Amino acid sequence: MRMDDDGMLSGATFIPSPNCDERPQGCAIDLVVIHNISLPPGEFGGKGVIELFTNTLAESAHPYYKEISGLKVSSHFFVNREGKIFQFVPVGKRAWHAGVSIWRGREKCNDFSVGIELEGTDFTPFTTEQYDALKALTFAIFEKYPVCDIAGHSEIAPGRKTDPGPFFDWNRYRNALKRLSS
């Protein structure tokens, strides 16, 4: 798995999202933000996340969708339960995943971060396939960009967000990255 000069990941399924824009000039990409998402909430395997990120979510498809109708969000990557990676925004562009956020005194984390959504909830363990894909994806990002930090959405938006949640195994993830870089 490699990242090309345009910020596109080999092996990922690219589905372009309109919910992105240019990063500020000269802004280094140095943070990876881990999220979780499922649409409808708590249900896996559907097309809800893809439809949300591409502004094609049908409000009538599920009662919850009325609450998020008109929301303009995206992420650079989405990893489903089987470990398949979808890319919505080239890494060189700013995806709209972090919202109001701050990391190490810097506001607007979308400006300098890569957003990775894992299909899941705060109350469900993630799959081995997801950890394997996340490890390979993170390593590809590290090879191309000067990333020095990894954070959960809850860490950059405390009190507002809770993901990736208590079932995300940070030790497993970080140890896998250490083994890769050794």
Whole-model pTM: value is 0.96
In the DSSP assignment, the letter for residue 24 is P
Judge whether 5 lies within some domain: no
Judge whether 166 lies within some domain: yes
What residue numbers bound the domain in which 174 lies? 13-181
Quote the distance between the C-alpha of residue 8 and its chain's center.
14
| pLDDT at residue 178, as a whole number | 82
pLDDT in tens, 90-100: 999 999 999 99
In the DSSP assignment, the letter for residue 87 is E
Judge whether 4 lies within some domain: no
Structurally, the chain folds into a number of domains equal to 1
Asked if residues 59 and 40 have their Cβ atoms less than 8 Å apart, the reply is no
Catalytic residues: 117
35: domain CATH number is 3.40.80.10
Judge whether 106 lies within some domain: yes
In the DSSP assignment, the letter for residue 125 is P
**Above pLDDT 90, what percent of the chain?**
95
Tokens 């919505």, residue located: 88
Which element (helix H / strand E) includes 13? strand 13-14
> One-letter amino acid identity for 162?
T
